[in-house]
Amino acid sequence: MKTYLDCIPCFLKQALWISRRTTDDEPKIKQILGEIGALIKTIPLNSSPPETGRLIYKKIREITGISDPLKDLKKKYTEIALGLYPFLKREIEKSDDRLLTAIRLSIAGNVIDFGASRGFELEKEIEEILKKEFAIFDYEKFKECFESADEVLYIGDNAGETVFDKILIEEMNKPVTYVVREQPVINDATYVDAVESGLDKVAKILSSGTDAPGVILETTGEEFKKVYNDAQFIISKGQGNYEALSEEKRPIFFLLKVKCPVIAKDIGVGDGDIILKKSF
């Protein structure tokens, strides 16, 4: 997905929110916003938003000296999600379509996002998403592609959401490679966050090799690139990965809750909608 003009003020808004979590030194935050403002001229509109996200978080790291500003929030939501795990498993047990319920839960976990929007009530969202109608529902294609694949490449998004992903992985019952970010960015899951969620028990964890909040292919590592190019069935979680991969001609299934009007417009659905969408 390209960068829309509306993304530009939003970059500043996100930078402000994250910066405030690292420091209450107003001149320092002002400096961050100034540096990011000065970057705007250099952002090509045909780049995808996570490419700029990457530059923004690099600036924040450089100026504040803090490499993982949302570490506490990631830990908190991983713990909350682990606490919900038995309840989530019961939802699977009592459902008629275990795979679909697991997909729904994995999308419910995607509300734990401190990038696009920051206000959510997790348990309420879970209840809603378990019943909500999909705006795009390529479930038959998903099952077909999944059944014919030997392995699953699962590109993760946020910490805490990882626990919900674990539930879907448990239902799929096939070898899974779970992709995390190389370095902390927003509240995206890194290796440590994935392990804290117990994903190492059900999947091979692989770093994307990038510190962008989305797997922008040019910035990913060689190992990821190889696995990605060979993959027969790919799950891509969340907005950042959608933004990075939306134009790819690969067997990708995007699972996400739309949390921003720009992405809603790009996909052709409403803000707040949930989607299970095949890439092409």
In the complex, which residues of this chain contact its own copies (CB under 8 A)?
A: 5-6, 8-10, 12-13, 16, 20, 26-27, 29-31, 33-41, 45
Find out whether 178 and 204 touch, Cβ atoms under 8 Å.
Answer: yes
Strands (E), 93-240: 134-137, 152-155, 176-180, 204-207, 234-237
Pairing outcome for strands 274-278 and 252-257: antiparallel
Distance (Å, whole) CA 70 – CA 122: 18
| Least distance to its own copies, CB of residue 5, Å | 6
Nearer to its own copies, 12 or 99 (CB): 12
| Least distance to its own copies, CB of residue 14, Å | 9
Alpha-carbon distances of 92 from 102, 235, 258, rounded to whole Å? 7, 19, 23
What DSSP line would sit under 184-215, residue for residue? Answer: --TTB-BHHHHHHTTGGGTSEEEE-S--SSS-
Nearer to its own copies, 29 or 167 (CB): 29
| Least distance to its own copies, CB of residue 17, Å | 9
Nearer to its own copies, 18 or 189 (CB): 18
Nearer to its own copies, 31 or 67 (CB): 31
| Least distance to its own copies, CB of residue 38, Å | 5
Run of H or E including 267: helix 261-267
| Least distance to its own copies, CB of residue 51, Å | 15
| Least distance to its own copies, CB of residue 206, Å | 35
Nearer to its own copies, 12 or 264 (CB): 12
Nearer to its own copies, 24 or 93 (CB): 24
User: Per the structure block, which two tokens stand in for 90?
Assistant: 């019961």
Run of H or E including 33: helix 26-39
Supply the Cα-derived Rg of the chain in whole angstroms.
18
Nearer to its own copies, 34 or 268 (CB): 34
Nearer to its own copies, 9 or 270 (CB): 9
Q: Of 272, 179, 174, 256, nearest to 217 (Cα)? A: 179
Length of the chain in residues, anyone? 280
Long-range pairs, 268-272, Cβ under 8 A, ≥24: 269/135, 269/136, 270/135
- Region of 236 (left: φ > 0; alpha: ψ -120 to 50; beta: rest) is beta
| Least distance to its own copies, CB of residue 1, Å | 15
Fill in the amino acid letter for 197: S
| Least distance to its own copies, CB of residue 163, Å | 32
